[in-house]
Amino acid sequence: MRLAPDLILIDTGYNSTPEAISVYLLLGDRPGLIETGPASRADVVLAGIREAGLAPEDVQVLAVTHIHLDHAGGAGTLTQRLPNAQVYVHPVGAPHLIDPTKLLNSAGRLYGDELARLFGETIPVPESRLHVLNDSDTLTIGGRTVAAIDTPGHARHHHAYWDAAHGDLFTGDVAGVALPRSRFVRAPTPPPELDVPAWQASLRRIRALRPRRLLLTHFGPHEWVEDLLGQLEERLLEGVERVRGFLGSGLGGEAITAEMRQLALRQIKARDGAAAAAHFEVIMPIRQSVLGLIRYIEKTG
């Protein structure tokens, strides 16, 4: 999908589902990707690069918003297949792309036996091809200059990429999950690093940039910026309070997940219908969001 003359959205078709994970290809003197998607979808990303008229050796940049496998799991595989590509990442995430052992162990606790099917084989990124971006560092991708904006909350190792000249913000997960043709937002809150005050601060920082358009990894471009960010913050706070209340009532994780699933289904169906609820579940399962909220509440009180 061409979003601008120099900007292409590659739909990875994650878990046999369209419009679940976006990878953004920027064309120009220094072609590159924002996000890699998981290793399981690397062939789809490579096909998208070729369809845009590029050869694998043309791609010079792989910039990831954070190191979760749906965003950066394909970085190692793509460095093998794109011989001139350099990888750019948040400093907290860099060691885990070089050695993904801890990352895979953490993901394995969430996904269990489904890990390999969903994400493929996550392999290391060569240290010689990995570069750290600190807050406000700039990077040329395609013909655009973007700034790495430190945006913790969903994860400590999170950047959004800000293209001030075009008003485009590539958000990763800091702007939540929203589907095309929809005006509903979910807050993705998996363990282990959810930090609600940090996320609220990140949202304030995003609002101060006054972006024209948010380009979500899950999924695609959205121009209803204020409504989207406001809904996200509202649902984030609502999730914390509801789960805190359920914990105070003595409910366990499974019962809380069932309650939160019913709430989400009501909210999504009211906006978009039952099919959308299943789509959101592919992208960010309710169980994982609940586990993250429980962990956060237990850590912070």
Predicted confidence (pLDDT) per residue in 233-262, tens digit: 999 999 999 999 999 999 999 999 999 999
Mean pLDDT of the region 107-124: 95
- The answer, yes or no, to whether residue 280 has pLDDT greater than 80, is yes
Please say whether the beta carbons of 209 and 168 come within 8 A: no
- The answer, yes or no, to whether residue 273 has pLDDT greater than 70, is no
> Per-residue pLDDT tens for 191-231?
999 999 999 999 999 999 999 999 999 999 999 999 999 99
Listed by start position, the domains of the chain span 2-229, 233-300
Reported confidence tier of residue 268, pLDDT bands at 50, 70, 90: confident
Reported confidence tier of residue 90, pLDDT bands at 50, 70, 90: very high
pTM of the model: 0.96
> Per-residue pLDDT tens for 152-175?
999 999 999 999 999 999 999 999
Give the CATH fold of the 2-229 domain: Metallo-beta-lactamase; Chain A (3.60.15)
